[in-house]
Amino acid sequence: MALTGLLTIALVIAGTAMWQRRQVEEPLLTPDWEAPPSEVVWTMSPTASATDDDMFTYLMPVSPDHALVFYSGLTAWAALPTDTALALLDLRTGQRLWERALDGRQSYPLAARPGKYIVEIVVSTSPSGSAAVRTTDWTTGAELSRLDDVDPASFQGFGGRILPPDVDTLALSHDDRVGLHRVLELDDPVWEADDASRVLAVTDDIVVTARAAYDRATGSVQEWDSLPAGQSWVQGVGDGLVESRTDGAVVRWETSHGRALWTRTGASLLFATDGVVAVSTETGRWPESQLLLLDPTTGAPLPGSEPIHLPADAWAQALPHTDLFMTTAPDGVSLHSLTTGRVLTTIASPGSTDGWLGLSGQGRETLYLDIQGDLGAYDIATGRELWRTTDAATYTIIGSHLLEVSTTGDGRLTALR
């Protein structure tokens, strides 16, 4: 099934809007399933607005109990066919709260205020690649506000998050300008500046582009010594920024004067938290690498930590709300201490691991993994496999809901418990 085009765009656009580090994430803990859930709570099939012999269904969380579901026929791939649709789904009942046809466009959530609105980016699949940011009424799906002529490649960040009650603005790049926009009045910016470079990062206080740093509230230009590079990946961490440059350097910035606190050359950023910056560096045995845990303030290795060998095709990810991170390799997954890098347990998983889906238990006793389309449950303390599905399906965990997307081409979505 040729999903590469859609998935690539999904990964880019699902991380498009910029907002503060002050985010409210979905609850991490899931039910502690002692056996593979098999009781069907509800089943959803695509409606006539998007019918095809070969359907693809993609879930985009907007709250712990709701998701946008995008479905499309794949016969005319890679040019997205016109029979695509988007619906807001109540994950507790399977009820479509609303649904609309997308006419050859793709829509992804940037942020949401559950019960009030959803902010989406809508991208055309035409050669022009035009895009718009749109605020949609949560209850009806009606358009509340819209900003056209937005370049989707000009955004970075993390999408699909729940907006805190005191956040109602987004920093956007639009028509060779950068500005702060109210989500309910997108075409009436709080401030704008002539700046054709893309937004690199947003914190509580500043908006950073490759050209300038702006006071987030007023748009006034800040006196910075220097700025991140225009093609970098930049994220807010603690009271500063971490930049991963395309030339193979990781830079830690403080944001009061725009000073680079430290630079690690020959490195790429894996993940960063308030207490650690994890980078990969070369070992001289390409394509192997090693993972280093760095102090965000000094850039030096964390006391007591040792380099971690990463084989080819391995990757690493911090597990939110825990003091753990995971590394993956073709023969399994290892869970590490976030402060020392020490391996706490190793999970042998025949077949490649495509990602973690959730943690269960107040003590986070069970880790759920996606292993080549199977759902596997593993004891964190011992690494022992508790159970693993064998159904021909792909699984998603959103809040406390386990959702199964059929891989038979009919686009059917099933909620299990």
DSSP code per residue over 291-340:
EEEE-TTT-SBPTT---EEE-TT-EEEE-TTSSEEEEEETTEEEEEETTT
Q: Is the pLDDT of residue 325 over 90?
A: yes
CA dihedral 123, 71, 393, 78 (to 10 degrees): -50
Mean pLDDT of 228-232: 81
Tell me the percentage of the chain whose pLDDT exceeds 70: 81
Q: CB atoms < 10 A from the CB of 184, how many?
A: 15
Top-confidence residue, 300 or 408: 300
CA dist., res. 214 & res. 289, Å (int): 37
Top-confidence residue, 117 or 18: 117
Mean pLDDT of 164-173: 76
Top-confidence residue, 167 or 168: 168
Q: How far is C-alpha 209 from the geometric centre of its chain's CA atoms?
A: 21
Q: Is the pLDDT of residue 314 over 80?
A: yes
Q: How far is C-alpha 243 from the geometric centre of its chain's CA atoms?
A: 18
Q: Is the pLDDT of residue 158 over 50?
A: no
Banded pLDDT at 110 (limits 50, 70, 90): confident
Top-confidence residue, 132 or 364: 132
Mean pLDDT of 161-174: 71
Mean pLDDT of 31-41: 89
* Average pLDDT of the residues of the chain: 81
How confident is the model at residue 150, as a pLDDT?
80
Q: How far is C-alpha 145 from the geometric centre of its chain's CA atoms?
A: 24
Instruction: Look at residues 136, 120, 167, 144 and name the one whose alpha carbon lies nearest to residue 10.
Output: 120
How confident is the model at residue 270, as a pLDDT?
94
DSSP β-ladder status, 84-90 and 96-101: antiparallel
Least confident of 55-59, 132-136, 295-299: 55-59
Q: Is 231 helix (H, G, I), strand (E, B) or coil?
A: coil
Least confident of 71-80, 177-186, 248-257: 71-80
Strand extents, DSSP E, 143-190: 143-147, 161-162, 169-174, 177-182
Q: Is the pLDDT of residue 22 over 50?
A: no
Banded pLDDT at 392 (limits 50, 70, 90): low
Banded pLDDT at 19 (limits 50, 70, 90): very low
CA dist., res. 233 & res. 240, Å (int): 14
Residue 6 host element (H or E): helix 4-13
Helices (H) and strands (E) in the chain, counts: 1, 36
Q: Is the pLDDT of residue 168 over 90?
A: no
Q: Is the pLDDT of residue 49 over 60?
A: no
Yes or no: say if 278 and 237 are a contact pair by the CB < 8 Å rule: no
Q: Is the pLDDT of residue 308 over 60?
A: yes
154 Rama sector, left if φ>0, alpha if ψ -120 to 50, beta otherwise? alpha
Q: Is the pLDDT of residue 93 over 90?
A: yes
Tell me the percentage of the chain whose pLDDT exceeds 90: 37
